[in-house]
Chains A and B, each alone.
Chain A
Amino acid sequence: MTKQNLFEKVWDAHAVGELQNGQTQLFVGRHLIHEVTSPQAFGMLREKNLPVRYPERTFATVDHIVPTNETQEPYSDPLADAMIKELRKNCSDFGVTFFDTDTGKQGIVHVVGPEQGLTQPGMTIACGDSHTSTHGAFGAIAFGIGTSQVRDLLATQTMALGKLKVRRIEVNGSLKSGIYAKDVILHIIKLLGVNGGTGYAYEYAGDVFDSFSMEERMTACNMSIEGGARAGYVNPDAKTYAYLKGRPYSPNDNDWDDAVSKWASFGSDEGCHYDDVVKIDAADIGPTVTWGINPSQAIGIDESIPDPALAQTKDRASIEEAIEYMKISPGAPIKGTPIDVAFIGSCTNGRISDLEEVASQLNGHKVKDGIKAIVVPGSQVVSKLAEEKGLDKIFRDAGFEWRFAGCSMCLAMNPDKLIGDQLCASSSNRNFKGRQGSPTGRTMLMSPTMVAAAAITGVITDSREVFSA
């Protein structure tokens, strides 16, 4: 039999047929929706008088617009209030399961899917959100899609898509202590560029991904799109199955062994074909921070802001634009850059292990006076678990605000926004101009532990120097 990689196997199992334009009609087994990119799609269904084809394959939650400091409806923002009510109505009208704010299951869609057991190996998954690649951590093929494709999925459970090439990215060796999955993915994007993944799905592999927990794999897969790759995945293994065991939507005990052998069969075959292979040495990865206005503009904590005068001609304009926007100086060390806000949360780094890791290091440390520091759990499940473990108290005692679950300051569609040109040390995924809600606001991306170190010292810091004791 022909040797295949996971992407090809999952693709073939879901291909309905070829469309006139040469694209594949792909069946999507799991469709996740939220309040921002779905209302127009439901509107289009109503216009065409179409039903939802398989409502049991779509699951909804509300994340982008929810306030994190109030739970009472109506929300103070009337537009946000209209959006949650519209989603509630659409789910009810079309028979879609909605993890509403009173279910204890609400949260960021890419945190909720895995923790409910909805995300499983060998699936095709899509959601109107580019960070859907997160679900690839389980050996699923997961795509971020536009609203017209949300409509297509609701109406037919299929969408039109061109097949991607596959690039295997192996990170071998062991990571130095104090280096996290976030540093690994920022390093990969820095090496391959913000559009290096165009046309590809990324298969992450090697010693480092083998040893990563499921949540670390999710952090890395989450940011595939920041490197231009439409999907990213890790082959399923014993950790994947152990994570899924006993989750609400996971197979039950009677079906478990069959499910695992089916899941395992989707793994890439030894010696299969890849369109490209990149090998990275784990020892080369240090604490990594972005300095610019896209996620590939990143450097090690001991490095300096690039000097456009020394850059290649093609990069010069971008570097100049970024330096001007970020109000930083060419050649200056990144370490010591003053911050105003610290944000821990998002679909990249808002899971329980992220919060545990930071909390375990905080003992006695306090957020520096004048720094606004917030922790936003990725879901109500994460929030409850964290509170049971007393993490909320540790964060509060250290001077962080402890919030309700949502996307929050990652994209600031709720009231959590930067003000003016505040600089935010952020565990989120994008440092685009204006991303965190102020048109002149500035973002530096880093691991949650690095965010905490910056909150404590008030400046961009090597967390290993703060938390060494």
Chain B
Amino acid sequence: MPLEKISQVSGSAVYVPGDDIDTDRIIPARFMKCLTFDGLGEYLFYDMKFHENGEQKDHPLNDALYQNASVMLTGMNFGCGSSREHAPQSLFRAGFRAVIAGNFAEIFFGNSINLGMPCVSVSNDVRNSIAEWVGENPSGQVLVDIKDLKVRAGDHSFTCDLRPGARDSLLNGAWDPLDELLEANHAIESIHGNLAYT
């Protein structure tokens, strides 16, 4: 089945402030004791959202105003740390379809694109402006335009960045590379045979 061509994502947004939000915060390791990714959405930011006694903490994802958010806005170096795909999977399964951040840690970025979840970067000023708009319009629609590299919120339009390869894969519906990788059968066989090691 061909993959969906993703040229834009829109939905209400939530701002989760902070730089260097690591994968252990996005999904604590104890929730990775599982054989499938099903159900991981429930544990997104678990220790940021709940005290150890199960009481809710003051966190934007606990705020009733943002329960339907599908676009996450956050700070610099989002997703640093582990290579666990569990992190973008938990975001995706909690309903998120795009992340806007200052920038992203490399492996997290790649894992997210492979799921068809665009990750676009914005400057600090733009992040602050979008955050302010989202604060004033919690159910307002934020549109992440992959084609034009813009984030649109109400009457505002901001520039965002997405590296060309990732952008093309989303626009062309080629964000999951497996089918294309499988096609190179002979070239794979040739490298396998020519390598000095098995």
A67 contacts the other chain (CB 8 A): no
Assess whether A123 is interfacial by the CB under 8 Å rule.
Answer: yes
Inter-subunit contact B191/A156 (CB<8 Å): no
Q: Are A160 and B177 in contact (CB under 8 A)?
A: yes
Interface size class of A (residues with CB under 8 A): 35 or more
- Our pick among A21, A123, A155 for the contact of B165 (Cβ within 8 Å) is A21
Partner of A158, one of B34, B168, B184, B196: B184
Cβ of A20 and Cβ of B24 under 8 Å apart? no
Per the bound structure, the CA–CA distance linking A19 and B179 in Å amounts to: 11
Chain A CB within 8 A of B3 CB: no
**B85-119 CB contacts (< 8 Å) to partner A:** 85-86, 88, 103, 105-107, 110-111, 114-115
A298: Cβ under 8 A from any B Cβ = no
* A82-B174 Cα distance, complex, nearest whole Å: 34
A86 to B28, CA, bound (A): 22
Interface stretch (choices A105-113, A209-217, A431-439): A431-439
Q: Which chain B residue has the least Cβ–Cβ distance from A80?
A: B33
Number of B residues with CB within 8 Å of any CB on chain A: 58
Given contacts A53-B188, A430-B24, A439-B28, contact A156 B35 (CB under 8 A): no
B187 within 8 A of A: yes
Verify if A39 is at the interface (C-beta below 8 Å from B): yes
Residues of A within 8 A of B182 (CB): 155-156
Set of chain B residues within 8 Å of A77, measured between Cβ atoms: 33
A413-B20 in contact (CB<8A): no
- Chain A residues with Cβ under 8 A from B166's Cβ? 21
A40 near B77 with CB under 8 A, answer no
> Can you list 26 pairs linking A and B with CB atoms under 8 Å apart?
A16-B187, A16-B191, A21-B168, A23-B165, A25-B177, A27-B191, A37-B84, A37-B85, A120-B197, A129-B83, A130-B107, A145-B107, A152-B178, A155-B178, A156-B178, A156-B188, A157-B188, A160-B177, A162-B165, A199-B106, A259-B196, A317-B18, A317-B19, A321-B18, A413-B30, A433-B22
> Do A27 and B29 form a contact, CB below 8 Å, given A43-B36, A195-B76?
no
Provide the residues of chain B in CB contact with A39, threshold 8 Å. Answer: 35-36
Are A195 and B28 neighbours in the complex by a CB distance under 8 Å?
Answer: no
Known: A151-B178, A413-B29. A130 touches B168 (CB 8 A): no
Q: Could you tell me if A195 and B77 are in contact, using CB atoms closer than 8 angstroms?
A: yes
| Nearest Cβ on chain A to B164's Cβ, whole angstroms | 7
Could you tell me which residues of chain B, from 158 to 198, have a CB within 8 Å of some CB in chain A? 163-166, 168-169, 172, 174, 176-178, 180-182, 184, 187-188, 191-192, 195-198
* A412 at interface, CB cutoff 8 A: yes
Q: A40-B36, A156-B178, A439-B28 are in contact. Are A434 and B107 (CB under 8 A)?
A: no
Q: B25 contacts the other chain (Cβ, under 8 Å)?
A: yes
Among residues of A, the one whose C-beta sits closest to the C-beta of B180 is A19
